[in-house]
Structure 1
């Protein structure tokens, strides 16, 4: 399942957009402000951004420009009531990939988001590889050579973060945010359960990688020793 971020302060519109995208198999995290959206994008490997311009803490283009200056290539669709030529050009030159003026038809919005996710440049991000594993978010699968295993939604998002960060140590709260979003309440042992399942699934596909607990620091994806079965 894809996961995207929506930055929109109109509650009713945000609810409708989320509902339509959820039906299309796309998970959505919603934020109303530039600062909270920026913080979320640093923690979670979103596959696309839907951005309003008129936000409580400024023009949404501030967020987009900040992302592009940081060389973050997340594809962006702008939804806004500012639909004159100057505004559209300004949004595209700031780094937007598409522009949809309000009011709009939900079916068209979903189609435009899907188009963003299908672009070749995005596909590279959407099928990341690290050592001997490859993640295919569109079908929620993790592969190693000729073997593959299905991933549940939280497992998929956490593995995407691990692969994105490679061997970096990732904090407990960052993994929770990736798996369940920043707005969902997570039970105390939910992350432990998911990490246990992921370790087993890495073993099922015979990956050389394992999820290692770095005491008092977090978790990291590291190469582990593989014990070969004796031959008779």
Structure 2
């Protein structure tokens, strides 16, 4: 899943980026409100972690703009402004959660899991196809109950394909799910990840197949 982190404190941003990547998420880090507004209208995010006190304004002003265009992406506000009135303002503006600084990274991850469970149009906590299962909460894949050990980016490819199982996923959509805006993407990098993932699924007898759609992308489906 791709997450937008809007945070202008370098040390905080670096720590959160590492924690989220360790949780197998793609992180786009933005430090200003203007850049955040541009990013959310260009990219598709699974969640937004939003600081309030940004160099060019209050991060809360981003939320009504998201909601006005029908974007239901979960937003967790992260801020040192933790007074009751501030929390109420954040939630009334449309934030899904409000977490005061300082906070434990473990609590942030737990709150992130919680807000991701709320929307009705998201996949269930565990996605299944053939003998393959993907636990979204624990970020783990398994085949017939046996863990499937996958590097971070192969896991991200698998998640993106499973979220649209039975439908073609374009190369651009897969790249957005796997790489952040700061990553340099080699021309054949995505194909390499897909090839390795395809081989591991076959070796594990997952009863799923990744089909390449020439010039478009990839499709994951059951192979009885």
- Would you call these one fold, judging by a TM-score over 0.5? yes
Partners of 1:100 and 1:109 within 8 A in 2: no
Partner of 1:72: 72
Partner of 1:60: 59
* Shift in alpha-carbon separation, 1:194–1:38, aligned structure 2, 3 A: same
In structure 2, the gaps of 5 or more residues are none
Q: CA deviation at 1:9?
A: 3.9
Partners of 1:148 and 1:205 within 8 A in 2: no
Output the CA distance in 1 between the equivalents of 2:104 and 2:212. Answer: 41
Structure possessing the higher radius of gyration over alpha carbons: 1
Partners of 2:2 and 2:176 within 8 A in 1: no
Tell me if 1:187 matches 2:182.
no
Q: Aligned Cα RMSD in Å?
A: 3.4
Map 1:161-176; keep pairs closer than 5 Å: 161-176=160-175
SS at match of 1:79: strand
Map 1:85-96; keep pairs closer than 5 Å: 85-96=84-95
Partner of 1:230: none
Output the CA distance in 1 between the equivalents of 2:116 and 2:11. Answer: 32
Map 1:1-232; keep pairs closer than 5 Å: 4-11=3-10, 13-19=12-18, 21=19, 25=23, 27=25, 28-32=27-31, 33-40=36-43, 42=44, 46=46, 48-54=47-53, 59-65=58-64, 66=66, 70=70, 72=72, 74=74, 76-101=75-100, 104-105=101-102, 108-119=103-114, 122=117, 127-132=125-130, 133-137=132-136, 140-224=139-223, 226=224
Describe the superposition over 1:121-165 as per-residue Cα deviations: whole angstroms up to 9, x where unpaired: 639858441433321356553223334411110011111111112
Output the CA distance in 2 between the equivalents of 1:193 and 1:10. Answer: 35
Q: Normalising by structure 1, report the TM-score.
A: 0.72
* Shift in alpha-carbon separation, 1:63–1:221, aligned structure 2, 3 A: farther
- Greater alpha carbon shift after TM alignment, 144-153 vs 61-70: 61-70
SS at match of 2:166: coil
Partners of 2:37 and 2:62 within 8 A in 1: yes
Q: How many residues align?
A: 214
Runs of 4+ in 1 over 6 A off after TM superposition: none
Partners of 1:154 and 1:178 within 8 A in 2: no
